[in-house]
Copies of this chain bind each other. A is one copy, B any other.
């Protein structure tokens, strides 16, 4: 059986990263899990970090799909951004690999993992930024700096989904949607 050795390696590594994190995953272990000699891994990937990068790029691709699936052109900008951001952050919150990597970033601070987490955030940020630019062009929202606007949207979302529940009862999806709309779109002024 001519199995795809490269894919076997990626699958094994993804599994191990998800279970044990980046640092605690050894190349020996990946080789064993992939039923492959250790040297073989180095014929496909320059080193451990490049293997990691490839897996993260797959993850980002997956996230882009999730985000795009959440967008429905006939809905409003606000509705779409809300659904996309919510789905993205829920994805991040539930996906084994991202959970493990978040922990590792927080508890150990492995440099390669910190880098990768920034890359993930940036991917989300850019996705939102594109939507913001489009919405401005269509006149769906006021003219504003897309960079800052997407930054604030993500910060607000992270605050509502992750930070708020550190000290309070978690907010459900409907509440978050409402708050997002209330504060960012309608505004506080009377």
Q: Is A43 an interface residue (CB 8 A)?
A: no
Q: Is A188 an interface residue (CB 8 A)?
A: yes
Chain B residues with CB under 8 Å of A160's CB are 152
State A151–B167 Cα separation when bound (angstroms): 11
Given A182-B144, A183-B184, A78 and B189 touching (CB < 8 A)? yes
Q: Is A130 an interface residue (CB 8 A)?
A: no
Q: Is A187 an interface residue (CB 8 A)?
A: yes
Binary CB contact string for chain A from 164 to 184 against chain B (1 if under 8 A, 0 otherwise) = 100010000000000100111
Q: Is A20 an interface residue (CB 8 A)?
A: no
Given A155-B163, A156-B155, A141 and B185 touching (CB < 8 A)? no
B151 touches A188 (CB 8 A): no
Nearest B residue to A125, CB-CB: B167
Binary CB contact string for chain A from 133 to 175 against chain B (1 if under 8 A, 0 otherwise) = 0000001111010011101100110011001100010000000
B186 touches A140 (CB 8 A): no
Nearest B residue to A152, CB-CB: B183
B185 touches A188 (CB 8 A): yes
Given A183-B184, A184-B183, A190 and B142 touching (CB < 8 A)? yes
The 10 nearest A-B residue pairs measured at CB: A187-B187, A155-B159, A185-B189, A141-B188, A186-B187, A185-B188, A185-B187, A184-B188, A142-B188, A142-B190
